[in-house]
Each structure stands twice: as C-alpha cells, then as structure tokens.
C-alpha cells in the first residue's frame, strides 16, 4: 500500500496549489504596491547640494542640483542653480556594464530576474514542509471516513468512524455515525419484522392445514367452520398490521390526509364495539380535536381498547382530558397488569408478556402500531399502573391539540 492514496494526492495537490497560489498573489500584490510607491516618490525630482572645485580647491560652482528624469540608458542629468543665480547643467554618460569579482558565480543567480524565481522556489518548499504535516493529518481522517463509507456501502452496517476533534471533519464523522446508526436500526427492525411475521403467519396456516387434513372428505362441522374463520381473520389482521407497520416505519407520506379529528366522537364509536365506558371531560373550551389522519387515530384507539378487552377481567374505562396543549386518552383495565420492567418492551413489535402468547387473539403488533401512530402525529404513548392502586394497567396516549 502506498504512503499516500490517489485520493489524498489529488486533494493535497489542490490544497498545495491553493496555498502557493495565494502566496504568489500576495507577493505580486506587494511588489506592485512597492513599485507604485516608488513611482510616486520619483514624481518629485530629488534635490542635492552640489559643489564643484578645481584642483587647487577653489569653488567653481556651489548650488542646488535637481536631477532631470531621463531614460536610464541616457545617463544622469543634473540642472544646477548656483547661489549667484546662474544655471549649470551636468551630464554623466550611462555606466558601462561590467561584472565585479564579487558578482561572478552563484551570486549572479540571486540578482533580478533570477532572484525572484529563487524566492518563489523557496516559498514553495517552505509551504510544502510547513503545510504537509497538517494536511497529512487531515487527509488521514478523510481517508478513514472514505474507507468507512465504502465498507458501509458494501454492506457492513456496523462500521463507525472515530469522532476526533471539533472541526468540520469531526462533524461529518458524527453525522455519518448517526445516519449509519439509524439505517442499521431500520434494517434490523425490518429483519426482525420479517422473521417474526413469518413465524406468526405459519401458526394459523398450520392450524388450517391440520384441520383440513383431519376433516378429510367429510362435511365440516359448525365448530370447525368457526375455527377456520377465526384463523383466517387472524391472518387478515396480521397481514394488515404488518403492512401498516412497514409503511409507518418507512415514513410513507400517503397514509392519509391530515385533518381535524374529534377524539370524543371517535372514542364513542370504538367504546361501543368493545363495551367500554367513556369518560370525557367537558370544558368551556369546547370539544377535543387533534390534527391527524382519522383512520390512523381510530386504529390507535381501537388497538388500545382491544388490548384491554383481551386481558381485562372487568370493565374497561376510556378517559379523555385536555392537559395543557395535549389531548390525553387513558385506557384503563382490570387485567393482570404489566410489570414495571416490561412497560417499555411491550411496545416492541411482536413482543408479548411471558405466557401471553397462548391467549386467544393478538399477534404482538397492536401496541407497536399505537406507538408508531402516536409518533407520526407528534405524540407519545406509555404504560403505567392504575392511579387507584387496583390490579390492572393504564395506557396513556397523548396527542397535540388542534391550534
């Protein structure tokens, strides 16, 4: 494996070119500003005091000389004005180019224009030596992130990236880990749903097959027909709940139209089906309406009531109250209750309390659907003990009120 991957080489080259380009632009800008300043300075001709004497030391000219602006190839020209008012001119021819002894050899390479090229080369080397360790550390983290994304795309959903530092790369790593965690959880949930659904579908199908084999060619008895119809209804309910759970987990947008739903009217209809008592708080604020999909909210209330009827040994009560900005539904039963350590797990798909799988009806998806529906509407659901201390359990569904 090479020290630097092609991905790193390309990225490092772009960063290096950007840094060197920035330094070059800065150098050219400084040079331009210096030249402009020099030109501005030369716009005012410099003056010098000039004194010319003869070999005997007598002063011939004593005055102020002003250098005239000429092309360097024409030499130097001074206009001298003496103290007595006379004007003199002094001209010097251009200097004959020659190479001094100290300018031979390598020293000549440092004079313009080669000196500027050497400076640029040294700047490039300095940028490389100074910036490479920093860029290399950044590239190593990016390489790790790229490798993890590649492994994740190849099917390794357990891969995660080390979250080092507090810069943009660390933020990207945290976002990747969060996304990978959600995807892995969703995939595992779907796998679990498929495995449990296969098991649950097999049970009623096996009972139907065994019944048909026992019946042979004889006419089915009324009890046998009732058993077949019960198993078919269980299959129909299971398939319907699996499809609804899959659509809710996938975040399907076409599950229904959001509209104001009257919870009291909906609860009255569902309480009649299971012979439950409804207690709705009547206030001056009017009815209890929540925004949501009517069929989903009906399904949530129905599942809570049917679950209570399945395990209750007495009457079932549905309370509807307004608590702050939420509408709260409490379905209380007189069943065996739910142990505190199990009150969260019963909302997992296909999870049932020990010994409950042999009871008539129920496939372990009802409460999971209630939680999915509640979350879809911005609400929540949980299980708690009865407030009066009697045996049984209360399931509390909270939904935001219509504004």
Q: How confident is the model at residue 284 (pLDDT cuts 50, 70, 90)?
A: very low
Collapse the DSSP code of 259 into the 3-class scheme (helix H, G, I; strand E, B; otherwise coil) and give the result.
strand
**Cα 348 to Cα 350: distance, rounded to the nearest angstrom:** 6
Report how far apart, in Å, the C-alpha atoms of 64 and of each of 67, 71, 80, 113, 318 are: 10, 22, 5, 36, 112
d(CA 184, CA 242): 20
**Torsion-angle region of residue 291: left (phi > 0), alpha (psi -120 to 50) or beta?**
beta
pLDDT score at 74: 67
Count of helices and strands (H, E) across the chain = 7, 11
pLDDT at 393: 92
State percent of the chain over pLDDT 70.
70
- Are 400 and 291 a contacting pair, CB within 8 Å? yes
Q: Report the pLDDT value the prediction gives residue 360, as an integer from 0 to 100.
A: 47
CB-based contacts of 162, cutoff 8 Å, min separation 6: 144, 173
| pLDDT 10s digits, 50-71 | 787 878 878 877 777 777 665 6
91-102 tens-digit pLDDT: 777 766 655 544
Give which of 373, 194, 395, 191 is closest to 298, Cα–Cα: 373
Q: Is the dihedral of CA 37, 42, 48, 50 positive or negative?
A: positive
Tell me the C-alpha distance between 7 and 92, whole Å: 63
Cα–Cα dist 97/133, whole Å? 47
Confidence of residue 387 (pLDDT cuts 50, 70, 90): confident
Cα 311 from Cα 338, distance rounded (Å): 11
- With beta carbons less than 8 A apart as the criterion, state whether 65 and 90 touch: yes
Q: Taking Cα atoms as reference points, which of 83, 39, 93, 78 lies closest to residue 60?
A: 83
Give the separation between CA 121 and CA 308, rounded to whole angstroms.
Answer: 82
**What would the two tokens of residue 354 be?**
């020990």
pLDDT class of 1 with cuts at 50, 70, 90: very low
Percent of the chain with pLDDT over 90: 13
Higher pLDDT, 325 or 283: 325
Average model confidence (pLDDT) for the chain? 76
Please, what's the largest Cα pairwise distance for the chain? 155
pLDDT tens by residue, 174-202: 888 888 888 887 777 667 666 666 666 67
């Amino acid at each position: 494996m090479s020290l630097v991957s092609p991905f790193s080489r390309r990225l490092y080259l772009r960063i290096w070119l950007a840094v060197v380009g920035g330094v070059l632009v800065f150098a050219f800008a400084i040079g331009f500003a210096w030249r402009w300043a020099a030109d501005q300075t030369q716009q005012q001709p410099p003056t010098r005091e000039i004194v010319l004497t003869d070999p005997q030391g007598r002063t011939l000219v004593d005055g102020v000389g002003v250098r005239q602006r000429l092309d360097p190839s024409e030499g130097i020209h001074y206009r001298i004005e003496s103290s007595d008012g006379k004007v003199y001119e002094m001209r010097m021819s251009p200097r004959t180019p020659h190479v001094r002894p100290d300018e031979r050899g390598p020293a000549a390479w440092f004079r313009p224009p080669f000196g500027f090229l050497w400076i640029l080369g040294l700047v490039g080397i300095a940028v490389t030596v100074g910036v490479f360790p920093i860029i290399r550390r950044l590239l190593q983290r990016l390489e790790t992130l790229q490798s993890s994304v590649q492994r994740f795309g190849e099917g390794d959903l357990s891969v995660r990236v080390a979250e080092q530092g507090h810069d943009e790369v660390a933020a990207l790593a945290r976002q990747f880990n969060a996304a990978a965690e959600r995807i892995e959880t969703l995939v595992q949930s779907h796998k679990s749903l498929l495995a449990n659904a296969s098991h649950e579908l097999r049970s009623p199908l096996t009972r139907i097959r065994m019944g048909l084999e026992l019946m042979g060619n004889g006419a089915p008895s009324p009890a046998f027909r009732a058993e077949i119809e019960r198993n078919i209804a269980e299959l129909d309910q299971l398939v319907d709940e699996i499809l609804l759970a899959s659509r809710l987990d996938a975040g399907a947008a076409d599950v229904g139209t959001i509209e104001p739903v009257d919870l009291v009217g909906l609860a009255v209809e569902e309480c009649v089906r299971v012979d439950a008592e409804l207690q709705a708080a009547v206030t001056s604020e009017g009815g209890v309406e929540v925004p949501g999909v009517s069929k989903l909210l009906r399904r949530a209330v129905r599942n809570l009531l049917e679950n209570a009827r399945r395990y209750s040994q007495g009457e079932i009560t549905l309370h509807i109250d307004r608590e702050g900005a939420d509408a709260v539904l409490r379905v209380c039963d007189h069943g065996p209750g739910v142990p505190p350590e199990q009150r969260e797990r019963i909302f997992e798909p296909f999870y049932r309390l020990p010994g409950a799988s042999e009871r008539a009806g129920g496939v372990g998806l009802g409460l999971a659907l209630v939680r999915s529906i509640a979350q879809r509407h911005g609400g929540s659901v949980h299980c708690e003990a009865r407030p009066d201390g009697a045996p049984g359990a209360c399931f509390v569904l909270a939904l935001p009120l219509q504004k």
